[in-house]
Structure 1
């Protein structure tokens, strides 16, 4: 007897001309883009801190983190506020996306593994790939993408609430 494929919901968004997705359960909210408070000497993809309901949330240029060109702010630019567990700690991050499309469901049997192209490349952040409308949607493995020494230091920046002005 075959098992029925399960469905999971994802928030889809664009970076440059590519479509990406993250699980809907990690997305706390989607905000209009505002310039964050700059933090000196941070990694290039760390744009700064943004106040999200009294909490200082590091804002990440996801395009730079993925090795793409820097985000150019447009009226469609959004920040996905996510809560993700990194090294056993819950961390809130703001991810800059060129555009947020929708919440959509993908069947588990439609999610393919990251393709093997025969050379080493930075694919460990890819949780899977879904074919849709003649194109691909890349599902981001946020834990893999944000694990590492530099991200642990972001956690210490983000754990303190911002003082009211």
Structure 2
């Protein structure tokens, strides 16, 4: 399957969500979300995803991206909205998350990529203290676009490698499938 909308190369300065900038808007479970365009490496059509046994529901599996194995997180399941049903519009947003000095490529399965939003600094608000169905540590900011708010996700929090690993270990312990499990 071919590449879609965005492909970026080279090191560019990172931009915090409280600065004016561009954001990739996408849908997950009929909710409009966004992330800094600086976090996006590439957007691809949904290729064959190989399910990895005994992984949490939000880890959809892995894909082969030009010879590299890339884990794919189902953003709907990760955000508590249920697994994404694959359609013609479903795609994978490839991002790089950081664990210490190392960067790791991860894919986020979304229902649909919408567009790129230019949100001025004065239209960026801090995340709410309460009232959102998404964990507040997953929210970098709120962007006001056409008199409506768009949740700007904190990619490093949503796709935290440490948390994903810890949650996976907890689910293994809970089901008795960890390496310490007795036969």
Q: TM-score range by the shorter chain?
A: 0.7 to 0.9
Q: Give, in whole Å, the separation in 1 of the partners of 2:133 and 2:142.
A: 18
1:106 pairs with 2:115: no
Structure of greater relative contact order (alpha carbons < 8 Å, 6+ residues apart)? 1
Q: Contact between 1:87 and 1:147, CA under 8 Å: does it hold in 2?
A: no
Q: Give, in whole Å, the separation in 2 of the partners of 1:31 and 1:145.
A: 20
> Aligned-pair distance for 1:134?
3.4
Q: Contact between 1:130 and 1:138, CA under 8 Å: does it hold in 2?
A: yes
Match of 2:74 in 1: 61
5+ long unaligned stretches in structure 1: 154-165
Q: TM-score, normalised by structure 2?
A: 0.73
Q: Contact between 1:83 and 1:90, CA under 8 Å: does it hold in 2?
A: yes
Match of 1:146 in 2: 159
1:43 pairs with 2:76: no
> Aligned-pair distance for 1:35?
3.1
RMSD of aligned alpha carbons: 2.3
Q: TM-score, normalised by structure 1?
A: 0.80
5+ long unaligned stretches in structure 2: 1-17, 167-183
Moved over 6 A (4+): 118-121
Q: Summarize deviations over 1:23-47 as a string: whole Å, max 9, x none.
A: 1122111111123111111111111
1:1-165 alignment runs, 5 A limit: 7-117=20-130, 122-147=135-160, 149-152=162-165
